[in-house]
Structure 1
Amino acid sequence: MSDAASLPESVTLDGASLAPEDVAAVARHDAPVELAAESRERMRESRERVESVLDSGEPVYGVNTGFGHLVETHIDREDIERLQTNLVRSHAAGAGRELAREEVRSMMVSRANTLAKGFSGIRPSVVDLLVSMLNEGVQPVVRSRGSLGASGDLAPLAHMALVLIGEGEARVDGERLPGDEALRAVGLEPVTLASKEGLALINGTQLTVGLASLFVVDAERTVEAADAAGALATEVTMGTTANCDPAIHEVRPHPGQKESAAAIRRLTAGSTVLESHKDCERVQDAYSIRCLPQVHGAVRDAVSHLREAVEVELNSVTDNPLVFPAGAVDERAPGTDAAAVVSAGNFHGEPLALRLDYAAGALTELAAISERRTDRMLNPDVQESYLPPFLTERSGLRSGYMIAQYTAAALLNECRSLGRPSIDSTPVSGGQEDHVSMSGQSALNARTVAENVATIVGVELLCGSQAAEFLGDGLELGTGTGAVRDAIRSVVPPLDEDRRLDGELETAADLVRFGAIRAAIADAGLSD
């Protein structure tokens, strides 16, 4: 039911090459993780630089000072380790639902990768423990709310970091345990944090970018499935694919538009349904059919824009302060002859927040046009005369797929109501952190949108497959749309009598969400 086979079987963290597909492989399919040898050496050198700064006694944020508004407070050498432990404890102040397993793991693997770049001053042994927790299935219990997306995703990452020091809670094989017991259950031991290490663990955008990675993977699958659903709807409503002629899209050559138009042509190739009415009197199809390439294509481009940012962010250093070799930055940076420690703002989630809101809005538009095509297949006032009302014989006695559209409409309304967190900012930490991105909430909202839209497209696929049951004798769907219909029919039978549909809607959504529609198209030899 999925295209998990297309994901990597193992992932090596080198701080430079992590991709959204790698995150999905680790988060969802437990792909084993290892640290690259060169990353281990970079982290060791970075740690030595922190030690040199600590020995110098010069006040440096995150090493021997307080945090946020307390930046001017100097911390004595004997309290450095306690400072880091207190930091993790105090920042574990999240609320809301518990993050799902895949959400926590996406955050963990992306955090390990950014630390592996070697600019955070953390010991390799601490990152080794984080990697071992991934490989041994230790899932910290993390509350979903609390991040402002600057200074990164502090609260969620602090809940994760608690387990590394043997505190907090974690799940192992589904059982919820205290952090130290969870580690012992798989043969691991907690660490004692040294200077800067608590800050290195919790200061960054890893909840945001982890969830954004999963969103990108899901959104790309959903757009491909929506192309298939739209192609099927075009056929069963006796529409035309003339709107997908290459000449049209060469004179308005947006990349996504061209891709979706080409996909519709591939999916419907060989369709005798389309051939059966190419000389009919209808002049134009409704916009939900005629403008499919333009709308779907714009969504493709929005998701692609987000992917670009996610791929950069996954392999970026997003904590504060950053630890550089001496001479690598302006000579005014604090440090020693061996190192420079620079306080900056790479933890700010704006590059992701803005694009997440944009992509979530785009995916909502994909849902909107999908729901309209569903209506065209169900609605007796607009559908083709050969289709029975709500795609069921003896309508009235039976309701067919009438209420499935209600569900699609409700989910669409939720997507539209989620808003744009990135345009809000609430100052915190005594005004020191006076502009924040809200990227964590943008990522959580995007996740909700992705789940809803997969269901909405699934409803369209169910209705398209049901409508195909009423095609006349001798009429065949295209090679691709036929394969998609067969994928639906392999798990959902035709609707001959009214029955409960909730499980079937979820099944269809899973075909979209986990890549089975993409796989069916590929198996038909129609991948682009």
Structure 2
Amino acid sequence: MKKLKKNQKSNVIYIGSTSWLTIQDCKLISKHQCFVKIRKKTFTHMNKSYEFLKKAIDQRVPIYGINTQFGDQVTLLDENFEGSSKEYYESIENRQKALINSHCCGLGDVVLIDFVRVAMILRAHCLSQGYSGVKYSAVNALVSFYNHDINPIVRQFGSIGASGDLIPLASIATAIIGGNTEVVYRGKIIKATQALKLTGLQKYNPQIREGLAMINGTTFMTAIAALAVYELKRLFDQMLTAIALSLESLKVIDCAYHPLVHEVKRHKGEIEVNNFVLACWRGSQLITNINEARSKLERPIQDYYSLRSVSQGFGPFFENLDRSINWIENEINSVNDNPIIDLDNAKIHHGANFMGYYITDACDLLKMNIAQAATWIHALLAVMVHPRKNNALPANLVKDPSNQNGFRPLQLLAASITVQCRKLAQCHQSYMLPTEGDNQDVNSLGTHAAFDLQNAVTYLDKLTAILYLAVAQALELRGIEKISDTGKKILASIRKVSPTIGKCRPLTNELNNVVMMLREEKI
């Protein structure tokens, strides 16, 4: 397949074989801030793919999921395989509808509409590339649901990430074929059939393998992962800024962040993180020179590990984030279907492109990095509130620690959230469970991993907000005139929603306000 190209056009996102979608595009799609169109260049390839597949079906070539049963029952041929064309095609059509309806059986919480929107368009993007043997009308049915903002109800449980996200995607497909399911339309939950009437859309009648094509891929897990990683990419710089400023407030010794130290270690991520930290400190009078530390001997000449090894610790996170975005964007733009129609060689390939292992590995990697980051933030907070460790800041980060608890309870809060991040860091591959008559004897659990990544990012948002509140307090205590240019800007932003903490007061609302500032990129 040729390398896909990215298209940028205001308020319109194009899908098809010459389009390259990004996690940024997925964010726009998730908020329904764009109109989606199918590239006309893809029509010809799609139609040829469909006609090639139809010809093979006419010739009674056994093809998975069309004239055979599904999964481990693939050896069961259609009962009308040798019958008349009318009976044969009616049976094929009924099989597609039965597949969709039978797999519309998810349980658990209703998932965010954002995920459903992205999943619909990623499925359409996959099918529009012309390797799935579906007609333009099938892709257009998905796109029309999105453009009319009809969002099928999808529930959390059902996918194991092998044969794709069968049950979640069937929940979408059931609505598109006018089945007995519900959708969210204009803020209300209504029957799918009612939404079709209100918008003037027709229920779709899947042909040949279009039912299978709509549900047999990785697009649901990919939608969740794409949005989670989009938020993590935003959060990474915000988190690293908070960490850099916490080091500044603790008067970290400078030599651990000398560029040469990291150049000789040779890792790109480590060097990038170190440069970022140094940039955050520009203009600061608080960073301790190693010669000053040696001459006064009021403190050790080496800081605690959490203070002096940020570059080494977060370099892998930096690189894993880039690697994971690459994997996820490849999956976004992939043909994650089975079978694959190969027009160039006039073949139909039965494979396993519905497997979600790249999504699983991307999410598992980042969950481990988030767990480490959470532990690190907790360690920094512990240093900041403890007078034995914080280089002459007052205990609890308040001027009257004998009467005020200050930030000590926030360290407890951080510990509580950190435990959740660490729990979510478990590798999903170790939980793989053979199923479906052992046909799916291995599976990716990519959707589980993606949901857990999304939750982990949410927790890291909260931890970063806690650290920002502590950083603002600590920098003020050091003296505004001494802090870095970045510190001054951050302090001004934080003080818009959270005043200096003197006497004890409830902080939940202020913390939530900082979380919202992070998500809205106001910090």
- The two structures have a TM-score, normalised by structure 2, of 0.91
Aligned counterpart, 2:16? 14
Distance in 1 (alpha carbons) for counterparts of 2:374 and 2:359 = 22
Residues 199-348 of structure 1 correspond to what in structure 2 (within 5 A)? 199-274=212-287, 279-280=292-293, 281=297, 282=299, 283-325=301-343, 328=345, 339-348=346-355
Aligned counterpart, 1:172? 185
Distance in 2 (alpha carbons) for counterparts of 1:502 and 1:63 = 56
Distance in 1 (alpha carbons) for counterparts of 2:100 and 2:38 = 24
CA contact (8 A) 2:394 2:401 kept: yes
Secondary structure of the residue aligned to 1:288 is helix
Post-superposition offset of 1:187:
3.0
CA contact (8 A) 1:8 1:21 kept: no
Distance in 2 (alpha carbons) for counterparts of 1:409 and 1:459 = 11
Q: Are positions 1:373 and 2:373 aligned together?
A: no
Measured against aligned partners, the alpha-carbon deviations of 1:133-181 in whole angstroms (never above 9, x if no partner) come to 2222111100111111101111111111111111221101221111111
Instruction: Indicate the larger mover: 142-151 or 37-46.
Output: 37-46
**Aligned residue identity for 2:308:** R
Aligned counterpart, 1:437? 444
CA contact (8 A) 1:376 1:383 kept: yes
Secondary structure of the residue aligned to 2:233 is helix
Distance in 1 (alpha carbons) for counterparts of 2:492 and 2:14 = 38
**Aligned residue identity for 1:301:** E
Which of 340, 348, 353 is the equivalent residue of 2:360?
Answer: 353
CA contact (8 A) 2:251 2:288 kept: no
Secondary structure of the residue aligned to 1:274 is coil
Aligned counterpart, 1:156? 168
Aligned counterpart, 1:57? 60
Q: 1:183 to 1:422 in 2, by over 3 A?
A: farther
**Aligned residue identity for 1:405:** Q
Distance in 2 (alpha carbons) for counterparts of 1:407 and 1:65 = 56
Distance in 2 (alpha carbons) for counterparts of 1:29 and 1:470 = 44
- Structure 2, unaligned stretches of length 5 or more? 1-7, 81-87
CA contact (8 A) 1:46 1:323 kept: yes
Q: State the aligned residue count.
A: 499
Q: Are positions 1:463 and 2:466 aligned together?
A: no
Distance in 1 (alpha carbons) for counterparts of 2:480 and 2:455 = 42
Distance in 1 (alpha carbons) for counterparts of 2:517 and 2:291 = 32
**Aligned residue identity for 1:10:** V
Post-superposition offset of 1:37:
1.4
Aligned counterpart, 2:44? 41
Aligned counterpart, 2:31? 28
Distance in 1 (alpha carbons) for counterparts of 2:514 and 2:332 = 31
Q: 1:494 to 1:40 in 2, by over 3 A?
A: farther
CA contact (8 A) 1:454 1:510 kept: no
CA contact (8 A) 1:7 1:21 kept: no
CA contact (8 A) 2:150 2:195 kept: yes
Q: 1:31 to 1:400 in 2, by over 3 A?
A: farther
Secondary structure of the residue aligned to 1:264 is helix
Measured against aligned partners, the alpha-carbon deviations of 1:493-518 in whole angstroms (never above 9, x if no partner) come to 2223322222222222233344333x
Q: 1:288 to 1:135 in 2, by over 3 A?
A: same
Q: 4+ residue runs of structure 1 moved beyond 6 angstroms? A: 275-278
Secondary structure of the residue aligned to 1:61 is coil
- Structure 1, unaligned stretches of length 5 or more? 1-5, 329-338, 518-528
Measured against aligned partners, the alpha-carbon deviations of 1:447-497 in whole angstroms (never above 9, x if no partner) come to 11111111111111111011122123632x212232222222233222233
Residues 429-508 of structure 1 correspond to what in structure 2 (within 5 A)? 429-472=436-479, 474-475=481-482, 477-508=483-514
Secondary structure of the residue aligned to 1:182 is helix
- The two structures have a TM-score, normalised by structure 1, of 0.90
Q: 1:72 to 1:369 in 2, by over 3 A?
A: same
Measured against aligned partners, the alpha-carbon deviations of 1:332-391 in whole angstroms (never above 9, x if no partner) come to xxxxxxx42221111111122123111111121111111211221122332232x22222
Aligned counterpart, 1:143? 155
CA contact (8 A) 2:254 2:289 kept: no
Higher relative contact order (CA 8 A, sep 6+): 1
CA contact (8 A) 1:267 1:478 kept: yes
